[in-house]
A and B are shown apart, each in its own frame.
Chain A
Amino acid sequence: MKKLFHGLGPGFIVFLVLVLAACGGSAGGPSGGAPSGGNTGGANNLNIAFLPKAINNPYFDTAATGAKNAAGELKGTFKQVGPSTASASEQVTWINTLTEQHVSAIVVSANDPNALAPALKQAIAQGIKVVSYDSDVAPDARQVFVNQANSEDIGRIEVQVLGKELNYSGQIAILSAASTATNQNAWIGFMKDELSKPQYKGMSLVKVVYGNDDDQTSFNDTLNLLQAYPNLKGIISPTTVGIAAAARAIESVNKGGKVALTGLGTPNQMRKYVKDGTVQSFALWDPGQLGYLAYYAAAALIQGKITGKPGESFDAGKLGTKMIGANGVVLLGPPTVFDKSNIDQFNF
């Protein structure tokens, strides 16, 4: 009897191996018995899933609202899933889950461009369309990237805004999100390049810290910056979670107005700080429009209207016709700068 017990374990493993080998195929399609993916071929089955960097993030929730509107217009379905913290490995788990659920398209904002690539390529091999938005992945792991604005514009505008506020002199720091986030690193690259221009020679970038899009971490990071660099004159935080936490941190040590803060934030989060002077101006775009455009792009891919090649164009509902640029990138438009004069016109 004991021998039979001990046979159970290896027996089970052998069984599993046989199952996997039998169901094997080069791409590993679903075995017979499961309904074959009608969504992948059907022109009207718009089962689109959004996978942001993390859920419960107001920026991505606003994008989701825009996407839901698009889903309503196109009569498709929308769902948003994601990790509770900005973790690339958890995003991979979600990508696998979505692949197994055979959604028509995955729209993802990446915490790490390379970590997600194998899982996304597998999804593409299963016939699922992949669109990246907000933060790109490796170009061969997606078909279209919906960029909110030109990365160069975003990076340079941040530095230009802060430079003007500080009269082009002083120490500054950057409070970023995850250290591997594609969009952050692209913007920071352009920020550093802008800072190397002659008119900024009075300013120096002393540190880049990574708050991981976590409120508590960003808050503590800002306080540490203020303590470690008593002469710090300005902070750029190109992340909506980061800038909100930094504003709170600056106010909590009564440095509002003494340390300039700018970056990317939502008008609703920043309204209080703009009105009381902690933040003079900041930039963003409409995340709702970003989500809306990403949904339309995914739908166009599913319906076969585009394949992601430069030069193709597709209908983007209220946003008109959008053309795909080099590297499969679609631009939403130029960033908007918010300050006291216009912040009350927006509600997101």
Chain B
Amino acid sequence: MKRLRTFLSSWEALLVVLLLLAIVLGSSLSPYFLTGFNVSSLTRDLMEKAIMALSMTLIIIAGEIDLSVASTLGLASVILGATWNAGVPLWLGMIIVLVVGATAGALNGLLVTRLGLPSLVVTLGTLALYRGLAYVVLGDQAVSDFPAAFTTFGFGSVPGTLIPWPFVVFVLLALVFMGVLHWSWIGRQIYAVGNNKEAARFAGIRVARLKLMLFVLSGLLAALAGIIFTARFSSARPDNALGFELDVITIVLLGGVNIFGGRGTLVGVILSLFIIGALRNALGLANVSGDIQNIVVGALLVFSVLGPNVAQYIQAALTRRRLAAGGSTKKV
């Protein structure tokens, strides 16, 4: 019973409830919400954000943040288009793009670890820098004549099922990340660094190197998401994925990862991923425009940061009152 209560009072339980609520909302808004076709479609729409959320989780747990992921995605997409236009074979273009993504992440990481600049400011700057570079590379043009096989990868499903190919990529990555974060020493180091950077350093953890690797990973995954995005829409444009960082960060924070670092699980992030995906899909089916959907997502972001803090404040206030009344601090 105690275990059940511990589970029920956890953030993950709240997320399960939210997910069920989102599903109920969706099916009440449209009879087509719970069809296999729709679930497949909403999953497909979600995968770029999902992949970026995986690395974002690690970064936020380590106490940093990366606002530039969507811009890196756009830059990657544009470079893929530019190399394709220049006649470079697609597989080589993809490798170039992944290298570019890793470099972009490395730039973020070096500025944060070597120069000690706050990641919020650094990645805010690179958010603008990388998006601007994307516009410089392609101007106001767009590349859209990619080969059919590439488009099928982004848009199609595993033959005989409704499972989108990008979902397969995401599942593989998610399993790897879960293994690393929850069951390996790297994961333990990340939590330690997020909880107390100085203590971690005194414990012998190479904090700077770890953070640099996390930023490189973030850039790499953003570039991978860029490849998938370009394949899905068969279109490389500088304004691809404009504004995606809002959703990615909301997904991570709603998933129970503490903005100040040191706490959070990938399970929560995956649950909140589908909450956001289901919500956007349900609202879209109800003909609500993307701009208005942002209102809902923004509200969720505020709630996900405010919620735990308010809960903590209430708990502390209750404890104070109990002490003042002469009771003990022991939980009943």
Measuring CB to CB, which residues of chain A are less than 8 angstroms from any residue of chain B? 1, 4-6, 8-10, 12-13, 16-17, 19-26, 28-31, 33-35, 79, 81, 83-84, 87-90, 92-93, 96-97, 99-102, 112-115, 117-119, 122, 126, 178-180, 209-210, 212
CA distance A89 to B45 in the complex (A): 11
CA distance A67 to B304 in the complex (A): 44
**Does B296 belong to the interface (CB within 8 Å)?**
no
B residues in contact with A84, CB < 8 Å: 289-291
CA distance A33 to B241 in the complex (A): 34
CA distance A117 to B152 in the complex (A): 11
**Is A100 a contact partner of B37 (Cβ separation < 8 A)?**
yes
**Is A23 a contact partner of B234 (Cβ separation < 8 A)?**
no
7 A-B pairs with C-beta separation under 8 A:
A12-B270, A20-B163, A35-B31, A84-B290, A102-B32, A115-B235, A178-B142
**Is A9 a contact partner of B178 (Cβ separation < 8 A)?**
yes
B residues in contact with A89, CB < 8 Å: 233, 235, 237, 240
**Is A93 a contact partner of B45 (Cβ separation < 8 A)?**
yes
**Is A28 a contact partner of B162 (Cβ separation < 8 A)?**
yes
Which one of B153-161, B192-200, B305-313, B323-331 is at the A interface? B153-161
The contact of B36 among A5, A19, A81, by CB within 8 Å, is A19
**Does B115 belong to the interface (CB within 8 Å)?**
no
**Is A81 a contact partner of B287 (Cβ separation < 8 A)?**
yes
**Is A114 a contact partner of B267 (Cβ separation < 8 A)?**
no
**Is B40 a contact partner of A92 (Cβ separation < 8 A)?**
no
**Is B239 a contact partner of A24 (Cβ separation < 8 A)?**
no
**Is B265 a contact partner of A24 (Cβ separation < 8 A)?**
no
A residues in contact with B152, CB < 8 Å: 118
Measuring CB to CB, which residues of chain B are less than 8 angstroms from any residue of chain A? 3, 6-7, 10, 12, 16, 30-32, 34-41, 43, 45, 140-142, 144-146, 151-152, 155-157, 159-163, 167, 171, 174-175, 178, 182, 233-235, 237, 239-240, 265-267, 270-271, 274, 284-285, 287, 289-291
CB distance from B139 to the nearest CB of A (A): 8
A residues in contact with B40, CB < 8 Å: 20, 23, 28
The contact of A90 among B43, B159, B290, by CB within 8 Å, is B290
**Is A118 a contact partner of B36 (Cβ separation < 8 A)?**
no
| Given A21-B161, A28-B40, A100-B35, 19 other A-B residues pairs in contact with their CB atoms under 8 A | A6-B267, A8-B267, A13-B171, A17-B163, A19-B36, A20-B40, A20-B157, A23-B37, A24-B157, A25-B162, A34-B31, A83-B290, A84-B290, A87-B239, A113-B144, A118-B151, A118-B155, A119-B155, A212-B140
CA distance A89 to B238 in the complex (A): 12
CA distance A20 to B10 in the complex (A): 29
**Is A28 a contact partner of B157 (Cβ separation < 8 A)?**
yes
The contact of A9 among B34, B174, B237, by CB within 8 Å, is B174
In the complex formed, the residue of B with least CB distance to A21 is B161
CB distance from B44 to the nearest CB of A (A): 8
CA distance A84 to B289 in the complex (A): 8
CA distance A9 to B151 in the complex (A): 29
CA distance A4 to B182 in the complex (A): 13
**Is A93 a contact partner of B290 (Cβ separation < 8 A)?**
yes
**Is A23 a contact partner of B35 (Cβ separation < 8 A)?**
yes
B residues in contact with A179, CB < 8 Å: 140-142
The contact of A6 among B7, B163, B265, B285, by CB within 8 Å, is B265
CA distance A130 to B104 in the complex (A): 41
B residues in contact with A93, CB < 8 Å: 45, 284, 290
**Is A16 a contact partner of B234 (Cβ separation < 8 A)?**
no
In the complex formed, the residue of B with least CB distance to A8 is B267
The contact of B144 among A8, A19, A33, A180, by CB within 8 Å, is A180
A residues in contact with B37, CB < 8 Å: 23, 28-31, 99-100, 126
The contact of B7 among A4, A29, A79, A119, by CB within 8 Å, is A4
CB distance from B311 to the nearest CB of A (A): 19
CA distance A17 to B163 in the complex (A): 7
In the complex formed, the residue of B with least CB distance to A102 is B32
**Is B41 a contact partner of A20 (Cβ separation < 8 A)?**
no
**Is A16 a contact partner of B39 (Cβ separation < 8 A)?**
yes
In the complex formed, the residue of B with least CB distance to A221 is B140
A residues in contact with B145, CB < 8 Å: 114
Known: A4-B7, A5-B265, A9-B266. A101 touches B30 (CB 8 A): yes
CB distance from B287 to the nearest CB of A (A): 6
**Is B175 a contact partner of A115 (Cβ separation < 8 A)?**
no
**Is A6 a contact partner of B284 (Cβ separation < 8 A)?**
no
CA distance A22 to B39 in the complex (A): 12
CA distance A122 to B38 in the complex (A): 12
**Is A31 a contact partner of B267 (Cβ separation < 8 A)?**
no
**Is B284 a contact partner of A97 (Cβ separation < 8 A)?**
yes
Top 6 nearest A-B pairs by Cβ distance? A23-B36, A24-B161, A9-B267, A115-B235, A30-B35, A114-B144
Residue from B35, B152, B160 having most chain A Cβ neighbours under 10 A: B35
